[in-house]
C-alpha cells in the first residue's frame, strides 16, 4: 500500500547576484517516488544532489516550486490548518545533529511532551508518564527525564530526537543523515534501535544516508539522486547487485567491498 507519493517535486532557489540580478537554481528537479507502508526507502547520492531538499519537501517543511505530494491518497501539497496538523502527526523527521535540533534550554521531559501537547495526544496528567515511556522505548533511562540535551552523549541525544519523532506515533519517519555524525559503534546501536522500533510499530522510513553499507543493512528499496534528479530507483538487491545507471555504478565503486556475493557479481559484469 502506498503511504506517500511524491509527483514531479521540484525546488528552485532564487539567489540574487551582486547587481541584484536574480538567478534560479534547480536543487530538485521533477522527483517522483512512492513510499510504501512499512518499508524503508533509502535515498543516496553525492553531497548537494538534493536529498535534504527532497526530505524537507516531503516533510512539508519546505514548499515545492512545482509538483504534488499525496499522503494516504490525499493531496497535501497545499495543506494548511487542521490538515497540516494531521500530516505532522503522521510524518516526522529525525535530523543529523541532535544537539542543534533539540532546544538546549528544555529538559528531555519537556522536549518529549511538546509534540503530545501539540497533537493533543495523551491527556495532561499522563504526558509525563508518556515521556518516560518514550525514553524507555529508545533505551534511555527515564530517571534522566529532567536532564538537558547537553548532559547526554551524541548517541543518547539522537535517541531523544528519535523519541520525539515517535511521540505522535507517526506512519512515516524521515531520517536525514540521522546516524551519519555518530561514531561507528554508536551508529550500529542506533541503527539497531531504528530497526527494532520499526519492527514494533510498523511505520515506514525514508532513510537518507551517505554510507551505502548502512543503506544495504536497513533499506528494502533505494533511490539514487544526482544533480537534483532520481537517476535510479529499485530494490536494494537490484540497485546494489545490478545497477542500471552509470552514476550508481560510480557511487558503488567507492564503497569497501566486504560482501563476497556482491563482489562476485560485480566481477562477472566487468
Ligand atoms: N535554502 C537554500 N537556498 C539556496 N540553495 C539551497 C538551499 N538549500 C539547499 N540549497 C542548494 O540545493 C542543493 C541541494 O542541497 P541539499 O541540501 O538538498 O543536498 P544534499 O543532497 O542533502 O547534500 P548533503 O549530502 O551535503 O546533505 C545544493 O546545491 C544546496 O546548496
Ligand atoms: Mg543533506
Residue 208 covered by a domain? yes
Residue 256 confidence (pLDDT) above 70: no
Residue 143 covered by a domain? yes
pLDDT above 70 coverage of the chain, percent: 94
Ligand located closest to 229 CA: 1
What number of CA atoms fall less than 13 Å from residue 263's CA on the CB side? Answer: 6
Distance 203 CA to ligand 2 centre (A): 22
Grid cell, residue 65, equals: 516550486
Measured from the CB, is residue 158 less than 6 Å from ligand 1? Answer: no
Expressed as residue numbers, the domain containing 58 is 34-64+76-237
Residue 266 covered by a domain? no
Distance 13 CA to ligand 1 centre (A): 10
Return residues with CB closer than 5 A to ligand 2 (ion): 51-52
| pLDDT tens digit sequence for 28-70 | 999 999 999 999 999 999 999 999 999 999 999 999 999 999 9
Residue 173 covered by a domain? yes
Residue 27 covered by a domain? no
CATH number (domain holding residue 214)? 3.40.50.300
Tell me how many domains the chain contains. 1
Residue 270 covered by a domain? no
For 58-113, what is the HEC assignment?
Answer: HCCCCCCCEEEEEECCEECCCCCHHHHHHHHHHEEEECCCHHHHCCCCCCHHHHHH
Can you give the pTM of this predicted structure? 0.92
Residue 259 covered by a domain? no
Residue 149 covered by a domain? yes
User: Ligand 1 atom 2: the closest Cα is on which residue?
Assistant: 13
Amino acid at each position: 500500500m502506498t503511504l506517500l507519493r511524491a509527483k514531479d517535486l521540484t525546488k528552485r532557489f532564487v539567489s540574487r547576484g551582486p547587481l541584484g540580478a536574480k538567478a534560479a537554481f534547480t536543487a530538485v528537479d521533477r522527483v517522483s517516488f512512492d513510499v510504501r507502508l512499512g518499508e524503508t526507502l533509502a535515498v543516496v547520492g553525492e553531497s548537494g544532489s538534493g536529498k535534504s531538499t527532497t526530505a524537507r519537501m516531503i516533510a512539508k517543511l519546505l514548499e515545492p516550486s512545482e509538483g504534488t505530494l499525496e499522503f494516504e491518497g490525499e493531496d497535501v501539497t497545499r495543506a494548511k490548518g487542521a490538515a497540516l496538523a494531521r500530516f505532522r502527526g503522521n510524518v516526522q523527521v529525525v535530523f543529523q545533529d541532535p544537539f542543534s535540533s533539540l532546544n538546549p534550554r528544555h529538559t528531555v521531559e519537556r522536549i518529549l511532551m511538546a509534540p503530545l501537547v501539540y497533537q493533543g495526544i495523551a491527556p495532561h496528567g499522563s504526558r509525563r508518564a508518556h515521556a518516560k515511556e518514550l525514553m524507555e522505548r529508545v533505551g534511555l533511562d527515564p530517571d534522566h527525564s529532567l536532564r538537558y540535551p547537553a548532559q547526554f552523549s551524541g548517541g543518547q541525544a539522537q535517541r531523544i530526537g528519535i523519541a520525539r519523532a515517535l511521540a505522535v506515533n507517526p506512519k512515516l519517519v524521515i531520517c536525514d543523515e540521522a546516524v551519519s555524525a555518530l561514531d561507528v559503534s554508536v551508529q550500529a546501536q542506533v541503527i539497531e534501535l531504528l530497526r527494532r522500533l520499526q519492527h514494533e510499530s510498523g511505520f515506514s522510513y525514508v532513510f537518507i544516508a551517505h554510507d551505502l553499507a548502512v543503506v544495504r543493512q536497513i533499506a528494502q528499496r533505494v533511490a539514487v539522486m544526482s544533480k537534483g534528479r532520481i537517476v535510479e530507483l529499485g530494490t536494494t538487491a537490484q540497485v546494489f547487485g545490478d545497477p542500471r545507471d552509470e552514476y550508481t555504478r560510480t557511487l558503488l565503486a567507492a564503497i569497501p567491498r566486504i560482501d563476497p556475493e556482491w563482489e562476485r557479481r560485480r566481477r562477472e559484469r566487468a
